[in-house]
A and B are shown apart, each in its own frame.
Chain A
Amino acid sequence: MVVLNKKAFKLPFMEREKFLLLMRLGLNYDKPSGTFCLKNFNNIEKLADTLAEILKVDEVTFTQTCAVCGKDFGCSDCKYLELCATKNLPFQCVCSECLREGKTFEDVG
């Protein structure tokens, strides 16, 4: 599994059709920095599959933002990965540190 930073990530050179497909599926390309970022989440599953094909890996996921501490983290070493039915969306979860330390949400009810 490869974890990509949803705010900015680089991809290898690809043919025009693939690039256009990625744009249609919801990526944005920043020419000066040469990085891609997510702008639309509606086709996230198809997008992840296409990226996996381009990167020649079995699976691609995006970084998650911790709902407690706000830190970005990857879910490749999450112990609940096999039980997780929603690998990409939403982009919020709780990082293992916060969970281990028993930190919880600021407000509940």
Chain B
Amino acid sequence: MREDLLWVEKYRPKKIADVIGNEEAKAAFIEWLKNTRRTKKALLLYGPPGVGKTTLVNAAANEFGFRVVEMNASDTRSEKAINRVAGPATAFAALDTFTTESKGNVLFMDEVDGIAGNEDRGGVSTILRIIEDSRIPVIMAANDPDLEKLRPLKKVSALVRFHQVRIPMIIALLQKVCQREHVKAEFEALERIAENSRGDVRSAINDLQSLAETTKTLTLQDTVVLSARNRDVGMDETLREYFSVKSLLGASKLLSYLSVDYDDLLMAVGDNLPLRYTDPEDLAAAYDFVSRADMFRGRIGVENWHLLRYFFNSLAQAAAVSPESYQPFTLISPPIRVITLFWTKGKRTILDAICGKIGRRCHVSRATAKTDFIPFLKILLANQKADEVVSWFEFQPEEVEFLAKMSRL
């Protein structure tokens, strides 16, 4: 076994019995899987992250000889994509069931609550159709089953609830991992890791590995960093810490514990950079890194989260252009763009209403109304030749006043 392997992967259960906690959920899952006369063709496993939903499916497949055809959040799950992967897998019994030990396929759709946005359009209705026509078991997993969009899936699925794994169970598991990895750990340190994980086994093992990387004797003192990670830090404090970092490593660490919205942070960093760097060359270099971060944020979108480290890396470099030049300054927060949007909301609402009226009368979109009609209306109003037009569009006095003000600008 490779030594540099993540411990979560290294100690991922291969058998159902190795999946800790959720005994009742495991029993219900096995009963459903073994039952050849299922009343519901699909099974929805739901519960918080890191409690063993995906692991249980893979362990069961390993034990019972099923092959898992998996689609998870990293795949685009539009109608076309689901049909391409799940269609053939569910429409026919696998050919190799006649020649090998395999018991056929199981379709596993992980994180179905993450099906969202334009890219996944039609996803839920396609899954419903797949379930209807499927000749193989369909298993889904979700963190939040109460979402409105999942209601149709819940109707056609048997539901199995997973709970958080209890702290003593996590401690016992961590003790076992420590034994295997020859890490000496104080009981209190493991206790702290387990408490911080909030029932998430995966994060507990990750925390243990990250802490044990620097020391082979883990003490309670070493776990202080965990509470720093879990505290809910606001934008102001994040910015203050971000701009006062002493090194690139410090900036990277800070960003890895981030608890603010990435887009808001990016905007706020952009606004505050001129206050942070007074030397034009430093400022230019920092803006260069921020623009790179912005580019990666665009590429990440809603699904390419594997690019997040490049986003963090660029942002960390922007903070560490010249750590020695730091002087305390008054932060601009919230971001200027957000403040501007707040102040201009009233104006935007009126303009939107005007464009809507133009659109209805002239059968054009609001965007076209804004670009192709508003400039001419402004000219007509400036020359006081717009009375007929105003009554035809049925503009209100405040809308006429707004357009008149616009024409004076």
Chain A interface residues toward B at CB < 8 A: 41, 67-68, 78, 80, 83-86, 89-96, 98-99, 102-105, 107-109
Give residues of chain B (171-230) contacting chain A, Cβ–Cβ below 8 Å: 171-173, 175-177, 179-180, 187, 195, 198-199
Across the interface, which residues of A come within 8 angstroms of B18, CB to CB?
105, 107-109
| CB-based nearest A residue for B191 | A80
- Cross-interface CB contact of B25 among A68, A84, A90, cutoff 8 Å: A90
Verify A92–B169 contact, CB threshold 8 A. Answer: yes
| CB-CB under 8 A for A92 and B171, given A86-B163, A104-B179, A109-B12 | no
Q: Are A80 and B163 in contact (CB under 8 A)?
A: no
Q: Mark B140-179, 1 if CB is under 8 A from A, else 0.
A: 0000000000000000000000011011110111011101
- Residues in B with CB closer than 8 Å to A103 are 172
Answer yes or no: B292 CB below 8 A from chain A CBs.
no
Cα-based distance from A99 to B78 in the complex (angstroms):
47
Chain B, residue nearest A68 (CB):
B172
Interface size on B, residues (CB 8 A): 32
List 30 contacting pairs A-B, 8 Å CB cutoff, sorted by A.
Answer: A41-B24, A67-B20, A67-B169, A80-B167, A84-B166, A85-B164, A85-B199, A86-B163, A86-B164, A86-B166, A89-B24, A89-B163, A90-B21, A90-B163, A91-B23, A92-B21, A92-B169, A94-B168, A94-B169, A99-B172, A102-B187, A104-B172, A105-B173, A107-B15, A107-B17, A108-B11, A108-B13, A108-B176, A108-B177, A109-B10
In order of increasing CB-CB distance, the 6 nearest A-B pairs are A104-B176, A94-B168, A109-B11, A86-B163, A80-B167, A108-B176
Residue of A nearest to B178 (CB): A104
B172 with A94: CB separation less than 8 A? yes
> With a CB–CB cut-off of 8 A, which chain B residues contact A98?
172
**Within the assembled complex, what's the spacing in Å between the Cα atoms of A86 and B169?**
12
Give bound CA distance, A108 to B179, whole Å.
11
B173 & A108 in contact (Cβ 8 Å cutoff): yes
Contact of A83 among B20, B167, B175, B176 (CB under 8 A): B167
Name B1-40 residues within 8 Å CB distance of A: 10-15, 17-18, 20-25
Number of A-B contacts (CB under 8 A): 79
Q: Which residues of B contact A107 (CB under 8 A)?
A: 15, 17-18
Q: Measured between alpha carbons, how far is A33 from B361 in the docked complex, in Å?
A: 82
- Which B residues touch A89, using CB under 8 A? 24, 163
Cβ-defined contact, B172 with A105, below 8 A: yes
CA of A89 to CA of B163 in the docked complex: distance in angstroms?
7
Does B23 lie within 8 Å of A99, measured CB to CB? no
Given A103-B172, A105-B176, 12 other A-B residues pairs in contact with their CB atoms under 8 A? A84-B167, A85-B163, A85-B164, A92-B23, A94-B169, A96-B168, A104-B172, A107-B15, A108-B18, A108-B176, A108-B177, A109-B12
| Residues of B close to A78: CB separation below 8 A | 168
Closest Cβ of chain B to A83, distance in Å, is 6
* Distance of A67 Cα from B165 Cα, bound (Å): 12
Query: A96 — nearest CB in chain B belongs to which residue?
Result: B168
**B168 contacts A80, CB within 8 Å?**
yes
Distance to closest chain B CB from A25 (angstroms): 15
Q: A80-B166, A109-B14 are in contact. Are A67 and B172 (CB under 8 A)?
A: yes
- In the complex, what residues of A have CB within 8 A of residue B24's CB? 41, 89-91
Q: Using Cβ atoms and an 8 Å threshold, which residues of chain A touch B199?
A: 85-86
Most buried by B among A78, A104, A108: A108
Contact of A105 among B20, B163, B198 (CB under 8 A): B20
Residue in A closest to B199 when the chains form the complex, CB atoms? A85
Query: Does B168 contact A93, Cβ atoms closer than 8 Å?
Result: yes
